[in-house]
Structure 1
Amino acid sequence: MGDAGDVSKEYAAGFAAGIATVVTGHPFDTVKVKLQAHNTKGKKVYNNAFQCTVRILSNEGVKGLYRGASSSFIGLAFESSLIFGIYSQMTHALQGKTERNLPQLEIIVPSAGFGGAIISFILCPSELIKCRMQVQGCGSAISKYTHYSGPLACALQTIKNEGAYTAVALQLLRESIGNAVFFSTYEFSRYYMRPHFNPDSSGLTNRQKLLMDVGSGIFSGGLAGMAFWSAVLPLDVAKTVIQTAPDRNASRNPLRTIHTIYTRVGLGGCYAGLGPTLLRAFPANAAAIVTWELTAKALGLKRAQFAEVCVDTVLFS
C-alpha cells in the first residue's frame, strides 16, 4: 500500500479510537460537566460525584448519563481520527529515516501540540453542544438552563444566537497542552513499561504476546489520560462555565473566569469534577490506545521507530 493508503489507515485507526472513548467514558464526562457547571457558583448543588450520579440515574435513568453523547460520537470520532492521524504523520516526518529507540520530546511535543491545536476548531462546536445538553435535566436547581429538545435544536439555536466557537481559545490551549502531555506520557510509559510486560517473548504464543501488548497499552493509555486531565483541568472548568453560562452577557474572559471561580469556591473549584474526570480518563484512554494500536496493526501500519512499542505480533494465532 502506498503512502496515501497508509495515511488513510492512520486516520481510520484514530476514528475507531474515538468511538471507543465515547462508549467507555461519556457517563463519567456527564458527571464531570454537571459538577463543573453547578458547583462553581458559590453554593454546591452536588456534594460529590457519587451523589451527582445517583441523582442523574434517579431522575433520568441511564440515558441521562449519555445525554449529549450523539454530538460526542461525531466530535470525538473525528477529533480522535485527526489527532492520532496528525500525530502519527508528524512523528514520521520529523524523525525522517533516523532510527531512535528512546522517545524524543522534540518530536513528540510539536507533533501532539500541533495536532491538538488543529482539532480544537473541530472539537469546540461539538463540546459546546454536548455540555449544554449535559447540564439539562430534571429538578429546580438547573431550571435556569435553557432546555433543548435535542442536539440538533441545541446546535441550531446556539449557532443562531451566539455562534459555534464559544471559548475556542480555552479549547485550543486545553488541547495543545493536554495532547503534548498525553503523548509524552504515553510514549515514555509505553517504552519503559513494555519490558516488564514482555521481557522475553520467545516462548510465548501469538495470543499471549497480544495479551501482553494489550496490558501495556491499557496502563500506558490510562496513565496518559490521567496526565492529560491533571495538567489542564482548570482550563476545562473555565471552558465549561463559559460554554454553559445561562446569561449570554456573562464574561468570556478565561483568566477572569478562573479568578472568579477561585474567589467563590477556592482552589477546589478550579478542579471541580476531578474525581469523575480521572475515573473516566483511565478506562476511556486505555480503550482508545488499545483500539488505536490494534486497529493500526490490523491495517498493516508501522509506526515511527522510537514509538515501535505497540503491538508487534500477529493479532491471532
Structure 2
Amino acid sequence: MKMGRVQLEEFVAGYLGGAASVVVGHPLDTVKVRLQAGQGYGSTFSCIFTIYRNESVAGFFKGMSFPLASIAIYNSVVFGVFSNAHRLISQYRDTSRTNLPDLIDLTFASMLAGCVSVVIGGPVDLVKIKLQMQTQSASSEVMSLNTSLRHYQSTYKGPVHCVNCILRKEGLLGMYRGAGAMLLRDIPGYCMYFIPYIYLSECLKLDRHTTPSALSVWLAGGIAGAISWGTATPMDVVKSRLQADSLYDRKYKGVKDCIMQSYCNEGIQVFFRGITVNAIRGFPMSAAMFLTYELSLRALKTSKQSS
C-alpha cells in the first residue's frame, strides 16, 4: 500500500487560519487570562469594564503582536500535524471504506497534535500571559510586596524583552513553565476540538460527495471551539496561574500544588473561572480559524492542480 506524502498546503492554511483566530479572539482572551490569574475582577462584565476604564480599548489587545506572529506558526504546525497524521493513519489502517472518518484515527491524530502543540505553544502562551497580566490593576498581593504600580506595569517592555528576562533568570526551562498543565489541557482539548469539527462538518453537508459549504465550516468550527474551550477550562485555569505566577512571587511548586492551593483557598468553582468567556470566545475564534483554513486550503490545492 502506497503511503501519502506530507502535504505542505495544510501547514500554510493552518498559518492563515491561526492569524485570523488571533485577531478575532485576542480581546476576550485577555479578559479570560485576567479572570483566571488576576485579582479583584469579579464577574466577566466587571473585568471587561475594569480593563476598559483603566486601559481603554488598547488594554484588550495587550500582547497581541507576539501571538499574531507566533500563534500563526503554532497553528500551522498543529493543523499540519493533525491533517497529515490523520491521513497517514487512515491509509495505514485502511478505513477509507467507511462513510465517516474513523474515531480511532481522529483520536490518535488529535492527541499527536496536542503533544506537538505544547512544544511550540508553551513559550508562546507564557509570553502572551505575562504581557497580558502586567497591566492589570494593582492587587493586594502585588502591593504586599511593596512594588509600586508604575514599576509593576513596566516589568516587560515587549515580547522580546520578556523572552530575554525569562531566559536570563530561569533559563530555557523557564520558557516551559506550566507545560505540564498545558499538556493535560491540550491532549484531551484537541480531541474535543478536531473530532466534533470533523463530524459536524460532515453531518452539515447537503451531499456526502460534496465539500462542506462555508456556512457549514463556520458553524462546525464555532461549535467545536466552544466545546473544546469549555471543557478545557479547569486545566486552563491551572496553566494560566502557573504561567502568571512569577509576575508576583513564586507561589506554586507545580501542577498538583497549584490545583491543591487553588481548591483549598477558593473552592471547586475556581476551576471554572472564565468558562463563560472561554466558551463565548471559542466560537468566533475557532469559526474564523476553520473557515480561513478550509478556504485557504481549497485555494492552495486548486492553484497547485492548475499549475
State the TM bucket, normalised to the shorter chain. 0.7 to 0.9
- Residue pair 1:220, 1:286 contacting (<8 A) in 2 also: yes
Q: Render the CA deviation track for 1:38-80: whole Å, top value 9, x for unaligned.
A: 25xxxxx112111111121122122210111122113311111
1:267-278 matches, within 5 Å, as: 267-278=268-279
1:183-202 matches, within 5 Å, as: 183-195=194-206
| Equivalent residue, structure 2, for 1:42 | none
Residues 142 and 228 of structure 1, relative CA distance in 2, 3 Å threshold:
farther
TM-score, with structure 2 as normaliser: 0.85
| Equivalent residue, structure 2, for 1:263 | 264
| Equivalent residue, structure 2, for 1:221 | 221
1:25 and 2:33 correspond = no
Q: What secondary structure, in the 3-state scheme, does the structure 1 residue paired with 2:253 have?
A: coil
TM-score, with structure 1 as normaliser: 0.83
| Equivalent residue, structure 2, for 1:161 | 169
Q: Render the CA deviation track for 1:228-276: whole Å, top value 9, x for unaligned.
A: 1122211110111111113554223212212221222222210111111
1:11-160 matches, within 5 Å, as: 11-39=11-39, 45-96=40-91, 98-137=96-135, 139-141=137-139, 144=142, 147-160=155-168
Q: Render the CA deviation track for 1:89-125: whole Å, top value 9, x for unaligned.
A: 1111111163431121110011011011012111111
- Residue pair 1:121, 1:172 contacting (<8 A) in 2 also: no
Pick which of 89-98 and 220-229 moved more.
89-98
How many angstroms apart in 1 are the aligned matches of 2:63 and 2:18? 15
How many angstroms apart in 1 are the aligned matches of 2:136 and 2:186? 32
| Equivalent residue, structure 1, for 2:230 | 230
Structure 1 unaligned spans of 5+: 40-44, 202-208, 302-317
Residues 85 and 200 of structure 1, relative CA distance in 2, 3 Å threshold:
closer
How many angstroms apart in 2 are the aligned matches of 1:57 and 1:161? 33
Letter in 2 for 1:90: A
What's the % identity of the aligned pairs? 29
Runs of 4+ in 1 over 6 A off after TM superposition: 198-201
How many angstroms apart in 2 are the aligned matches of 1:170 and 1:179? 14
Residues 138 and 185 of structure 1, relative CA distance in 2, 3 Å threshold:
closer
- Residue pair 1:136, 1:142 contacting (<8 A) in 2 also: no
| Equivalent residue, structure 1, for 2:254 | 253
Pick which of 286-295 and 62-71 moved more.
62-71
**Matched residue pairs, number?**
283
Pick which of 244-253 and 165-174 moved more.
244-253
How many angstroms apart in 1 are the aligned matches of 2:76 and 2:209? 33
- Residue pair 1:117, 1:173 contacting (<8 A) in 2 also: no
| Equivalent residue, structure 1, for 2:149 | none
How many angstroms apart in 2 are the aligned matches of 1:65 and 1:247? 21
Root mean square deviation, CA, Å: 2.3
Pick which of 104-113 and 70-79 moved more.
70-79
- Residue pair 1:234, 1:271 contacting (<8 A) in 2 also: yes
How many angstroms apart in 1 are the aligned matches of 2:287 and 2:131? 26
How many angstroms apart in 2 are the aligned matches of 1:251 and 1:139? 22
Cα distance, 1:140 vs structure 2:
2.6
| Equivalent residue, structure 2, for 1:297 | 298
- Residue pair 1:46, 1:52 contacting (<8 A) in 2 also: yes
| Equivalent residue, structure 2, for 1:304 | none
Pick which of 264-273 and 28-37 moved more.
264-273
- Residue pair 1:72, 1:126 contacting (<8 A) in 2 also: yes
- Residue pair 1:103, 1:191 contacting (<8 A) in 2 also: no
